[in-house]
């Protein structure tokens, strides 16, 4: 399962990069350019894509806790606190085509991404001292796929994707 989740992480990371290129192209080009058309086409499904990633990340997190019996560290819990509600928030926002979804989806996503970024670098450089419990340190690598993909990196990429899709939704020129 870790390899599957690692591959999904790479796909999400690539999608984030490509989407930001599209957003930049739409911002720099004329309003009716191909970039703007592409951004608006992506916008129609962006909240649904964000919801699918939030739901998959939530399910993956539960799999690692319940199925694989990995004990989440303190930073993992904080990331989960930010991620889990997004599964519901984004579903409701997508179903209602709520233009204000950014007001209640972005704060937990950005906070979770910041925590995940800190946690990712802790696991990349595990010799650091942390404030986490000695019995369950934040530097513990339960997953280390392809030599760099850890659980916190999976969380970071998922949250970056969610943030990106919410930005796409809010920057669309469609009503």
Q: Got the DSSP string for 117-147?
A: HHHHHHHHSTTS--SS-TTS-TT--S--BTT
Separation between Cα atoms, residue 171 and residue 117, nearest integer Å: 25
Digit-coded pLDDT (tens) for 132-159: 777 777 888 889 899 899 999 999 999 9
Q: What is the pLDDT, as a whole number, of residue 33?
A: 83
Count other C-beta atoms under 10 Å from residue 103's C-beta.
12
Average pLDDT, the chain: 91
Q: How confident is the model at residue 17 (pLDDT cuts 50, 70, 90)?
A: very high
Token pair belonging to 137: 């340190």
Say if residues 118 and 75 touch (Cβ distance below 8 Å): yes
Is the confidence at residue 117, as pLDDT, over 80? Answer: yes
The reported pTM is: 0.93
- Comparing 114 with 71, which gets the higher pLDDT? 114
């Amino acid at each position: 399962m870790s390899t599957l989740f690692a591959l999904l992480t790479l796909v999400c990371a690539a999608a984030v990069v490509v989407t930001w290129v599209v957003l930049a192209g739409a911002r720099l080009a004329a309003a009716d350019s191909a970039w703007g058309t592409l951004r608006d086409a992506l916008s129609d499904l962006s909240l649904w894509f964000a919801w699918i990633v939030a739901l998959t990340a939530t399910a993956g997190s539960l799999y690692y806790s319940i199925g694989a019996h990995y004990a989440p560290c303190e930073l993992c819990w904080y990331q989960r606190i930010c991620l889990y509600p997004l599964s519901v928030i984004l579903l409701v926002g997508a179903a209602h085509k709520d233009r204000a979804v950014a007001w209640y989806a972005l704060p937990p996503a950005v906070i979770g991404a910041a925590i995940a970024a800190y946690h990712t670098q802790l696991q990349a450089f595990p010799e650091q001292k942390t404030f986490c419990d000695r019995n369950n340190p934040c530097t513990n690598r339960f997953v280390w796929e392809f030599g760099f993909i850890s659980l916190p990196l999976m969380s970071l990429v998922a949250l970056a994707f969610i943030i990106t899709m919410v930005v796409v939704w809010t920057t669309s020129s469609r009503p």
